[in-house]
């Protein structure tokens, strides 16, 4: 895309993240070099290094951001007064926020499954642990299959991403995930 338009640091950083994650997803993390990312962006390799000294530095912020989002949601849910619709509101907060970023992360993980066992494992736990906390907090009275359904309601974006045909627009996947979450929550036995 070149640098004909003057970009500020935040924009450049976001653009690098988007392009690099796309490359990591389509051709694999291991097979993608920093050189290739800078070429794809039409920027100097030195500029890329300025923002991200290594490939791991590109991957970690996304996980950290989603982990922080999950942690914030857990704290929010803990602070709410008990209410019949708290579970539903909490699930929808997770499904409705940063949905496209979540999809991007899920696709990256699915394309680089073994990577998650090494470098990004701690980042992955940073998302999983607060979600576990939410299940424990809100799902205490749901047992057996209901407990599995409650987890499925939280993870509908993952399921929708896995089920959707290649090339399905993000907004259709996100819309399906939202409707699936609502349908699954309605199917829970009354707690």
Tell me how far, at minimum, the Cβ of 49 lies from a second copy, in Å. 30
User: How many CA atoms does the CB half-sphere of 66 hold within 13 Å?
Assistant: 25
Tell me how far, at minimum, the Cβ of 178 lies from a second copy, in Å. 8
Environment class of 153 (CB within 10 Å of its CB; exposed 0-12, middle 13-18, buried 19+): buried
Nearer to a second copy, 137 or 152 (CB): 152
What sign does the dihedral 108-110-159-189 (CA atoms) show? negative
- Residue from 164, 166, 167, 190 in contact with a second copy (CB under 8 A): 164
Helix (H, G, I), strand (E, B) or coil at 54: coil
Tell me how far, at minimum, the Cβ of 65 lies from a second copy, in Å. 22
H/E element holding 104? Answer: helix 99-111
Work out whether 125 is an interface residue with a second copy (CB under 8 A).
no
Nearer to a second copy, 47 or 124 (CB): 124
Q: For residues 58 and 107, what is the distance between their CA atoms, to the nearest angstrom? A: 15
Binding segment toward a second copy, per CB under 8 A, in 11-19, 54-62, 68-76, 151-159: 151-159
Cβ within 8 Å of residue 83, ≥6 positions away: none
Work out whether 160 is an interface residue with a second copy (CB under 8 A).
yes
Work out whether 182 is an interface residue with a second copy (CB under 8 A).
yes
Environment class of 136 (CB within 10 Å of its CB; exposed 0-12, middle 13-18, buried 19+): exposed
Residue in the structure block whose two tokens are 């926020």: 97
Work out whether 134 is an interface residue with a second copy (CB under 8 A).
no
Tell me how far, at minimum, the Cβ of 61 lies from a second copy, in Å. 24
Work out whether 31 is an interface residue with a second copy (CB under 8 A).
no
| Binding footprint of a second copy on the chain (CB under 8 A) | 113-114, 144-149, 151-152, 154-155, 158-160, 162-165, 168, 172-173, 175-176, 179-180, 182-184, 186-187
């Amino acid at each position: 895309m070149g640098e004909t338009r003057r970009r500020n640091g935040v924009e450049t950083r976001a653009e690098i993240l988007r392009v690099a994650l796309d490359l990591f997803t389509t051709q694999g993390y291991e097979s993608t070099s920093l050189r290739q990312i800078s070429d794809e962006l039409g920027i100097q390799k030195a500029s890329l290094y300025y923002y991200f000294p290594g490939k791991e530095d590109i991957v970690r912020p996304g996980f950290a951001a989603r982990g922080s989002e999950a942690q914030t949601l857990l704290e929010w849910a803990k602070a709410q007064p008990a209410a019949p619709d708290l579970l539903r509101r909490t699930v929808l907060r997770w499904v409705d926020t940063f949905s496209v970023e979540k999809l991007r992360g899920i696709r990256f993980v699915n394309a680089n499954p073994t990577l998650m066992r090494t470098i990004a494992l701690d980042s992955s736990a940073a998302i999983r642990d607060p979600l576990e906390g939410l299940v424990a907090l809100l799902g205490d009275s749901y047992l057996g299959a209901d407990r599995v359904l409650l987890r499925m309601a939280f993870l509908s974006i993952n399921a929708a991403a896995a089920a959707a045909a290649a090339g399905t627009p993000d907004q259709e996947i996100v819309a399906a995930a939202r409707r699936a979450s609502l349908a699954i929550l309605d199917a829970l036995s009354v707690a």
